[in-house]
Structure 1
Amino acid sequence: MTSLSDPAPFAALSARLLAARSATRALEAWCAEHGIGDGAVRARMVPAPPLPPDAEALELLRPAPAEVLRHRRVVLVRGAVALSEAENWYLPQRLPPGMRHVLETTDTPFGVAVEALRPRRRTMHVAFAADGLLHRAVVLTGAGRPIAVVHERYLPALAPAALPASP
Protein backbone atom coordinates (compact mmCIF):
# COMPACT_ATOMS: atom_id res chain seq x y z
CA MET A 1 0.00 0.00 0.00
CA THR A 2 1.29 3.44 -0.88
CA SER A 3 1.66 5.86 2.01
CA LEU A 4 0.41 9.33 1.27
CA SER A 5 2.25 11.13 4.03
CA ASP A 6 4.03 12.72 1.03
CA PRO A 7 1.26 14.29 -1.11
CA ALA A 8 3.32 14.33 -4.32
CA PRO A 9 1.94 11.04 -5.75
CA PHE A 10 -1.59 12.46 -5.61
CA ALA A 11 -0.89 16.06 -6.59
CA ALA A 12 -1.60 15.54 -10.30
CA LEU A 13 -4.81 13.62 -9.63
CA SER A 14 -5.99 16.28 -7.19
CA ALA A 15 -5.33 19.00 -9.78
CA ARG A 16 -7.27 17.01 -12.38
CA LEU A 17 -10.23 16.58 -10.03
CA LEU A 18 -10.21 20.27 -9.11
CA ALA A 19 -10.39 21.25 -12.78
CA ALA A 20 -13.09 18.71 -13.71
CA ARG A 21 -16.82 19.23 -13.99
CA SER A 22 -17.28 15.55 -13.06
CA ALA A 23 -15.07 13.54 -10.71
CA THR A 24 -16.26 10.34 -12.40
CA ARG A 25 -15.19 11.51 -15.86
CA ALA A 26 -11.85 12.69 -14.45
CA LEU A 27 -11.35 9.26 -12.85
CA GLU A 28 -12.21 7.48 -16.10
CA ALA A 29 -9.60 9.50 -17.99
CA TRP A 30 -7.01 9.08 -15.23
CA CYS A 31 -7.51 5.32 -15.11
CA ALA A 32 -7.34 4.98 -18.90
CA GLU A 33 -4.09 6.98 -18.99
CA HIS A 34 -2.51 4.96 -16.18
CA GLY A 35 -3.88 1.50 -17.03
CA ILE A 36 -5.91 1.16 -13.83
CA GLY A 37 -8.72 -1.40 -14.01
CA ASP A 38 -10.90 -1.85 -17.07
CA GLY A 39 -14.32 -0.83 -18.33
CA ALA A 40 -16.46 2.02 -17.09
CA VAL A 41 -16.33 3.45 -13.60
CA ARG A 42 -19.26 2.03 -11.61
CA ALA A 43 -20.74 2.88 -8.21
CA ARG A 44 -20.92 -0.09 -5.87
CA MET A 45 -23.49 0.71 -3.21
CA VAL A 46 -22.35 0.18 0.37
CA PRO A 47 -25.27 -0.88 2.57
CA ALA A 48 -25.25 1.30 5.65
CA PRO A 49 -27.68 3.32 7.71
CA PRO A 50 -28.11 6.83 6.31
CA LEU A 51 -25.53 9.24 7.65
CA PRO A 52 -26.96 12.62 8.65
CA PRO A 53 -25.43 15.59 6.82
CA ASP A 54 -23.13 17.91 8.71
CA ALA A 55 -23.82 21.62 9.16
CA GLU A 56 -21.65 22.51 6.15
CA ALA A 57 -23.66 20.23 3.84
CA LEU A 58 -26.94 21.70 5.06
CA GLU A 59 -25.64 25.24 4.57
CA LEU A 60 -24.43 24.47 1.04
CA LEU A 61 -27.60 22.64 -0.06
CA ARG A 62 -30.16 24.75 1.80
CA PRO A 63 -32.99 22.25 1.42
CA ALA A 64 -36.51 23.65 1.45
CA PRO A 65 -38.70 22.38 4.30
CA ALA A 66 -40.50 19.94 1.96
CA GLU A 67 -37.29 18.60 0.37
CA VAL A 68 -35.93 15.24 1.49
CA LEU A 69 -32.17 14.91 1.72
CA ARG A 70 -30.94 11.47 0.61
CA HIS A 71 -27.66 9.83 1.53
CA ARG A 72 -25.78 7.50 -0.80
CA ARG A 73 -22.57 5.68 0.22
CA VAL A 74 -20.60 4.16 -2.65
CA VAL A 75 -17.27 2.76 -3.67
CA LEU A 76 -16.34 3.76 -7.21
CA VAL A 77 -14.69 0.86 -9.02
CA ARG A 78 -13.22 0.22 -12.44
CA GLY A 79 -13.18 -3.51 -13.06
CA ALA A 80 -11.93 -5.06 -9.82
CA VAL A 81 -10.03 -1.95 -8.68
CA ALA A 82 -11.54 0.25 -5.94
CA LEU A 83 -10.85 3.88 -6.84
CA SER A 84 -12.66 5.93 -4.22
CA GLU A 85 -15.15 5.89 -1.40
CA ALA A 86 -17.81 8.57 -1.27
CA GLU A 87 -20.54 9.86 0.95
CA ASN A 88 -23.10 11.75 -1.12
CA TRP A 89 -26.00 13.80 0.22
CA TYR A 90 -28.35 14.88 -2.54
CA LEU A 91 -31.75 16.44 -3.06
CA PRO A 92 -33.75 14.13 -5.35
CA GLN A 93 -36.53 16.71 -5.79
CA ARG A 94 -34.02 18.88 -7.69
CA LEU A 95 -33.45 16.09 -10.22
CA PRO A 96 -35.71 14.93 -13.06
CA PRO A 97 -37.56 11.66 -12.30
CA GLY A 98 -35.41 9.65 -14.73
CA MET A 99 -32.23 10.68 -12.93
CA ARG A 100 -33.72 9.79 -9.56
CA HIS A 101 -34.66 6.37 -10.91
CA VAL A 102 -31.13 5.75 -12.22
CA LEU A 103 -29.58 6.73 -8.86
CA GLU A 104 -31.98 4.53 -6.91
CA THR A 105 -31.84 1.42 -9.10
CA THR A 106 -28.48 1.18 -10.90
CA ASP A 107 -24.73 1.26 -10.30
CA THR A 108 -24.38 4.51 -12.24
CA PRO A 109 -22.13 7.05 -10.50
CA PHE A 110 -23.81 10.28 -9.42
CA GLY A 111 -21.81 12.46 -11.83
CA VAL A 112 -22.79 10.31 -14.79
CA ALA A 113 -26.45 10.11 -13.74
CA VAL A 114 -26.77 13.91 -13.58
CA GLU A 115 -24.59 14.70 -16.61
CA ALA A 116 -27.48 16.20 -18.60
CA LEU A 117 -27.72 18.97 -15.96
CA ARG A 118 -24.18 20.07 -16.95
CA PRO A 119 -22.99 19.83 -13.35
CA ARG A 120 -19.89 21.46 -11.98
CA ARG A 121 -18.08 20.97 -8.72
CA ARG A 122 -17.00 23.58 -6.21
CA THR A 123 -14.41 22.00 -3.95
CA MET A 124 -14.50 23.16 -0.35
CA HIS A 125 -11.66 21.11 1.12
CA VAL A 126 -8.66 19.08 -0.08
CA ALA A 127 -6.34 17.08 2.17
CA PHE A 128 -3.64 14.50 1.67
CA ALA A 129 -3.86 11.69 4.24
CA ALA A 130 -1.99 8.45 4.84
CA ASP A 131 -4.96 6.48 3.48
CA GLY A 132 -5.95 8.62 0.49
CA LEU A 133 -6.68 11.97 -1.07
CA LEU A 134 -9.68 13.68 0.51
CA HIS A 135 -12.00 16.06 -1.33
CA ARG A 136 -15.21 17.70 -0.13
CA ALA A 137 -17.29 19.42 -2.78
CA VAL A 138 -20.70 20.76 -3.60
CA VAL A 139 -22.18 19.68 -6.94
CA LEU A 140 -24.10 22.40 -8.76
CA THR A 141 -26.23 22.27 -11.87
CA GLY A 142 -24.98 24.23 -14.87
CA ALA A 143 -27.38 26.96 -13.72
CA GLY A 144 -25.66 27.06 -10.31
CA ARG A 145 -28.30 25.29 -8.19
CA PRO A 146 -26.78 22.99 -5.54
CA ILE A 147 -27.90 19.37 -5.88
CA ALA A 148 -25.38 17.40 -3.80
CA VAL A 149 -22.52 17.51 -1.34
CA VAL A 150 -19.86 14.82 -1.59
CA HIS A 151 -17.10 13.70 0.76
CA GLU A 152 -14.65 11.60 -1.25
CA ARG A 153 -11.58 9.58 -0.39
CA TYR A 154 -9.48 8.65 -3.41
CA LEU A 155 -7.65 5.43 -2.68
CA PRO A 156 -3.89 4.73 -2.91
CA ALA A 157 -4.37 2.50 -5.98
CA LEU A 158 -4.78 5.75 -7.97
CA ALA A 159 -1.43 7.26 -6.95
CA PRO A 160 1.19 6.98 -9.69
CA ALA A 161 3.70 5.66 -7.12
CA ALA A 162 1.37 2.71 -6.49
CA LEU A 163 1.16 1.83 -10.17
CA PRO A 164 3.33 -0.94 -11.61
CA ALA A 165 6.36 0.20 -13.54
CA SER A 166 6.11 0.09 -17.33
CA PRO A 167 7.97 -2.84 -18.95
Structure 2
Amino acid sequence: MGLGSTLLLAPLHAREPETVPGWHDDATSRLEALALLQSLNAELLSHPSATLTLERWCGAHHLAPEAKVIAERVQGEDKPLPADAREQLQIGPDEPVRYRRVQLACGGHVLSEADNWYVPARLTDAMNHELDTTDTPFGKVVQPLHFRRQTLSAELLWSPLPPGWENQPTLPASAQAMLTLPHHVLQHRAVLFDQSNRPFSLVVESYTAQVLAFTPPASHRP
Protein backbone atom coordinates (compact mmCIF):
# COMPACT_ATOMS: atom_id res chain seq x y z
CA MET A 1 0.00 0.00 0.00
CA GLY A 2 1.91 3.01 -1.22
CA LEU A 3 1.81 6.56 0.07
CA GLY A 4 0.99 9.32 -2.35
CA SER A 5 0.25 12.96 -1.68
CA THR A 6 0.96 14.19 1.84
CA LEU A 7 -1.66 16.94 1.64
CA LEU A 8 -3.29 17.52 5.00
CA LEU A 9 -6.66 19.16 5.52
CA ALA A 10 -6.90 21.61 8.39
CA PRO A 11 -9.06 20.53 11.32
CA LEU A 12 -12.54 22.02 11.50
CA HIS A 13 -11.71 23.99 14.63
CA ALA A 14 -8.37 24.84 16.25
CA ARG A 15 -8.00 23.14 19.62
CA GLU A 16 -5.94 24.00 22.67
CA PRO A 17 -3.16 21.58 23.70
CA GLU A 18 -4.29 19.04 26.27
CA THR A 19 -2.81 16.69 28.84
CA VAL A 20 -3.57 12.98 29.11
CA PRO A 21 -3.68 11.78 32.74
CA GLY A 22 -0.75 9.61 33.81
CA TRP A 23 1.70 10.71 31.14
CA HIS A 24 4.63 12.61 32.68
CA ASP A 25 6.93 14.82 30.65
CA ASP A 26 10.04 12.66 30.85
CA ALA A 27 12.24 10.85 28.33
CA THR A 28 10.80 7.39 29.02
CA SER A 29 7.20 8.53 28.58
CA ARG A 30 8.05 10.38 25.39
CA LEU A 31 9.75 7.30 23.94
CA GLU A 32 6.77 5.14 24.89
CA ALA A 33 4.30 7.65 23.40
CA LEU A 34 6.24 7.70 20.14
CA ALA A 35 6.35 3.89 19.97
CA LEU A 36 2.62 3.63 20.66
CA LEU A 37 1.69 6.20 18.02
CA GLN A 38 3.86 4.42 15.47
CA SER A 39 2.21 1.12 16.41
CA LEU A 40 -1.27 2.59 15.98
CA ASN A 41 -0.22 4.14 12.67
CA ALA A 42 1.02 0.74 11.44
CA GLU A 43 -2.21 -0.96 12.54
CA LEU A 44 -4.33 1.61 10.72
CA LEU A 45 -2.24 1.25 7.57
CA SER A 46 -2.50 -2.54 7.54
CA HIS A 47 -6.30 -2.85 7.96
CA PRO A 48 -9.11 -1.48 5.75
CA SER A 49 -11.46 -0.41 8.55
CA ALA A 50 -10.31 2.32 10.94
CA THR A 51 -13.36 1.63 13.11
CA LEU A 52 -12.45 -2.00 13.71
CA THR A 53 -8.80 -1.08 14.28
CA LEU A 54 -9.83 1.43 16.93
CA GLU A 55 -12.03 -1.17 18.60
CA ARG A 56 -9.04 -3.51 18.87
CA TRP A 57 -6.91 -0.62 20.20
CA CYS A 58 -9.59 0.28 22.73
CA GLY A 59 -9.80 -3.31 23.95
CA ALA A 60 -6.04 -3.90 24.09
CA HIS A 61 -5.49 -0.74 26.16
CA HIS A 62 -8.63 -0.99 28.33
CA LEU A 63 -9.97 2.42 27.39
CA ALA A 64 -13.54 1.37 28.22
CA PRO A 65 -15.35 -1.54 29.93
CA GLU A 66 -16.58 -2.62 26.48
CA ALA A 67 -14.35 -2.22 23.43
CA LYS A 68 -17.05 -0.84 21.17
CA VAL A 69 -16.56 2.20 18.96
CA ILE A 70 -19.60 4.41 18.41
CA ALA A 71 -19.86 6.95 15.60
CA GLU A 72 -21.35 10.21 16.84
CA ARG A 73 -22.44 12.31 13.91
CA VAL A 74 -21.52 15.98 13.90
CA GLN A 75 -24.39 17.90 12.36
CA GLY A 76 -23.92 21.23 10.65
CA GLU A 77 -22.83 22.83 7.42
CA ASP A 78 -21.28 20.48 4.88
CA LYS A 79 -17.54 20.74 4.39
CA PRO A 80 -16.59 21.55 0.77
CA LEU A 81 -15.33 18.71 -1.39
CA PRO A 82 -11.51 18.93 -1.68
CA ALA A 83 -10.29 20.20 -5.05
CA ASP A 84 -8.85 16.88 -6.20
CA ALA A 85 -11.59 14.67 -4.76
CA ARG A 86 -13.60 14.13 -7.96
CA GLU A 87 -10.51 12.92 -9.77
CA GLN A 88 -9.66 10.56 -6.89
CA LEU A 89 -13.25 9.28 -6.79
CA GLN A 90 -13.30 8.97 -10.60
CA ILE A 91 -16.57 10.86 -11.00
CA GLY A 92 -17.78 13.65 -13.24
CA PRO A 93 -18.51 17.25 -12.21
CA ASP A 94 -22.24 16.63 -11.74
CA GLU A 95 -22.12 13.34 -9.81
CA PRO A 96 -23.80 13.78 -6.38
CA VAL A 97 -21.50 13.41 -3.39
CA ARG A 98 -22.62 13.29 0.22
CA TYR A 99 -20.69 14.48 3.26
CA ARG A 100 -20.64 12.89 6.69
CA ARG A 101 -18.59 14.01 9.70
CA VAL A 102 -18.36 11.75 12.72
CA GLN A 103 -16.49 11.39 15.95
CA LEU A 104 -15.46 7.81 16.73
CA ALA A 105 -15.66 7.26 20.47
CA CYS A 106 -14.87 4.33 22.75
CA GLY A 107 -16.38 4.79 26.18
CA GLY A 108 -15.87 8.45 27.06
CA HIS A 109 -12.92 8.90 24.71
CA VAL A 110 -13.24 10.50 21.27
CA LEU A 111 -10.44 8.72 19.41
CA SER A 112 -10.96 10.06 15.90
CA GLU A 113 -12.74 12.83 14.03
CA ALA A 114 -13.44 11.89 10.43
CA ASP A 115 -14.55 13.84 7.36
CA ASN A 116 -16.06 11.53 4.75
CA TRP A 117 -17.19 12.36 1.20
CA TYR A 118 -18.89 9.41 -0.50
CA VAL A 119 -20.70 8.61 -3.76
CA PRO A 120 -24.22 7.40 -2.86
CA ALA A 121 -24.78 5.89 -6.34
CA ARG A 122 -22.02 3.36 -5.57
CA LEU A 123 -23.69 2.16 -2.37
CA THR A 124 -26.89 0.17 -1.94
CA ASP A 125 -30.16 1.86 -1.00
CA ALA A 126 -30.03 0.13 2.38
CA MET A 127 -26.52 1.47 3.05
CA ASN A 128 -27.53 5.01 2.13
CA HIS A 129 -30.58 4.81 4.36
CA GLU A 130 -28.51 3.59 7.31
CA LEU A 131 -25.92 6.34 6.78
CA ASP A 132 -28.69 8.97 6.60
CA THR A 133 -30.64 7.83 9.63
CA THR A 134 -28.17 6.30 12.11
CA ASP A 135 -24.79 6.92 13.73
CA THR A 136 -23.41 3.54 12.62
CA PRO A 137 -19.74 3.90 11.61
CA PHE A 138 -19.25 4.17 7.85
CA GLY A 139 -16.81 1.23 7.76
CA LYS A 140 -19.38 -1.08 9.34
CA VAL A 141 -22.18 0.04 7.00
CA VAL A 142 -20.15 -0.64 3.85
CA GLN A 143 -18.52 -3.89 5.04
CA PRO A 144 -20.62 -5.95 2.58
CA LEU A 145 -18.72 -4.25 -0.25
CA HIS A 146 -15.56 -6.04 0.92
CA PHE A 147 -13.74 -2.81 0.29
CA ARG A 148 -10.06 -2.09 0.20
CA ARG A 149 -8.39 1.07 1.38
CA GLN A 150 -5.70 3.06 -0.45
CA THR A 151 -3.88 5.45 1.85
CA LEU A 152 -2.92 8.76 0.25
CA SER A 153 -1.13 10.18 3.26
CA ALA A 154 -0.31 9.17 6.83
CA GLU A 155 1.23 11.86 9.01
CA LEU A 156 2.21 12.15 12.64
CA LEU A 157 0.94 15.61 13.56
CA TRP A 158 2.93 15.59 16.80
CA SER A 159 6.24 14.00 17.67
CA PRO A 160 7.00 13.37 21.36
CA LEU A 161 10.72 13.83 20.63
CA PRO A 162 12.47 16.67 18.78
CA PRO A 163 13.97 16.15 15.30
CA GLY A 164 17.40 14.54 15.46
CA TRP A 165 16.95 13.21 18.98
CA GLU A 166 18.51 9.88 17.99
CA ASN A 167 21.80 11.66 17.22
CA GLN A 168 21.98 13.42 20.58
CA PRO A 169 24.08 12.00 23.46
CA THR A 170 21.12 12.23 25.86
CA LEU A 171 17.37 12.47 25.59
CA PRO A 172 15.61 15.72 26.58
CA ALA A 173 15.58 16.27 30.33
CA SER A 174 12.37 15.82 32.29
CA ALA A 175 10.24 18.93 32.69
CA GLN A 176 8.74 17.57 35.92
CA ALA A 177 5.27 18.16 34.52
CA MET A 178 2.52 16.35 32.69
CA LEU A 179 3.04 15.71 28.99
CA THR A 180 1.12 18.18 26.84
CA LEU A 181 -0.26 16.94 23.51
CA PRO A 182 -2.10 18.69 20.70
CA HIS A 183 -5.72 17.69 20.17
CA HIS A 184 -4.85 15.81 16.95
CA VAL A 185 -1.75 13.60 16.93
CA LEU A 186 -2.11 11.59 13.71
CA GLN A 187 -3.94 12.07 10.42
CA HIS A 188 -4.74 9.74 7.52
CA ARG A 189 -6.21 10.54 4.12
CA ALA A 190 -7.53 7.57 2.15
CA VAL A 191 -9.81 6.40 -0.66
CA LEU A 192 -12.02 3.32 -0.33
CA PHE A 193 -12.58 1.00 -3.31
CA ASP A 194 -15.25 -1.69 -3.77
CA GLN A 195 -14.68 -5.18 -5.20
CA SER A 196 -15.02 -3.81 -8.75
CA ASN A 197 -12.15 -1.42 -7.97
CA ARG A 198 -14.47 1.59 -8.07
CA PRO A 199 -13.63 4.33 -5.56
CA PHE A 200 -16.64 5.31 -3.48
CA SER A 201 -15.34 7.28 -0.50
CA LEU A 202 -12.67 9.84 0.38
CA VAL A 203 -11.97 10.07 4.08
CA VAL A 204 -9.75 12.28 6.22
CA GLU A 205 -9.29 10.84 9.71
CA SER A 206 -7.76 12.95 12.48
CA TYR A 207 -6.82 10.88 15.54
CA THR A 208 -6.86 12.59 18.91
CA ALA A 209 -4.62 12.53 21.98
CA GLN A 210 -7.28 10.31 23.61
CA VAL A 211 -5.76 7.29 21.86
CA LEU A 212 -3.18 7.51 24.68
CA ALA A 213 -5.74 7.88 27.47
CA PHE A 214 -4.55 4.85 29.43
CA THR A 215 -1.91 4.17 32.08
CA PRO A 216 1.52 4.54 30.48
CA PRO A 217 3.72 1.40 30.34
CA ALA A 218 6.33 3.04 32.61
CA SER A 219 3.76 3.31 35.41
CA HIS A 220 3.52 -0.48 35.60
CA ARG A 221 7.21 -0.90 36.39
CA PRO A 222 8.49 -0.93 40.01
Q: Detail structure 1 runs of 4+ shifted over 4 Å in the superposition.
A: none
Q: 1:148-167 residue pairs with structure 2 within 5 A?
A: 148-159=201-212, 162-165=213-216
Structure 2: how far apart are the matches of 1:142 and 1:29?
A: 25
Q: Per-residue deviation at 1:143?
A: 2.5
Q: Which range is displaced more, 47-56 or 63-72?
A: 63-72
Is this contact kept in 2: 1:69–1:92, CA < 8 A?
yes
Q: Does 1:26 align with 2:53?
A: yes
Percent of aligned positions that are identical: 40
Please, what is the CA RMSD of the aligned residues?
2.0
> Counterparts of 2:74 and 2:97 in 1: how far apart (Å)?
18
Instruction: Give how far 1:104 is off.
Output: 0.6
Higher RCO (CA < 8 A, seq sep 6+) = 2
- 1:121 alignment partner, one of 99, 124, 149: 149
Following superposition, the deviation at residue 67 of structure 1 comes to 2.5
Cα deviations by residue, 1:3-49 (Å, 9 ceiling, x for unpaired): 99x74431000100000021111111111111122352111111121
- Post-superposition offset of 1:52: 1.2
1:70-129 per-position Cα deviation (integer Å, ceiling 9, x unaligned): 111110111221110000000111100000011111110000000000011111011111
Q: Which of 184, 187, 190 is equivalent to 1:134?
A: 187
SS in 2 for 1:49: coil
After superposition, the C-alpha distances for 1:107-165 in whole angstroms (9 at most, x for unaligned) are 10000000000011111011111332000000111321101000111111113xx4214
Q: Which residue of 2 aligns with 1:54?
A: 82
Paired with 1:54 and 1:35, the residues of 2 have a C-alpha distance of 36
Match of 1:97 among 118, 125, 128: 125
> What letter corresponds to residue 156 of structure 1 in structure 2?
A
Determine the C-alpha separation between the residues in 2 that align with 1:158 and 1:16: 13
1-structure distance, mates of 2:185, 2:74 = 18
Q: Gaps (5+ residues) in structure 1?
A: none
Tell me, in whole angstroms, the C-alpha distance in 2 between the residues paired with 1:10 and 1:55.
30
> Residues 30-49 of structure 1 correspond to what in structure 2 (within 5 A)?
30-37=57-64, 38-49=66-77
Unaligned runs of 5+ in 2: 1-18, 159-183
Larger radius of gyration: 2
Distance 1:53 1:124, change over 3 A: same
Give the structure-1-normalised TM-score.
0.89
What's the secondary structure of 2:39's corresponding residue? helix
1:17 aligns with 2:47: no
Q: TM-score, normalised by structure 2?
A: 0.68
CA–CA separation in structure 2 for the residues paired with 1:7 and 1:140: 31
The one-letter amino acid of 2:215's match is P
Classify the secondary structure of the residue corresponding to 1:59.
helix
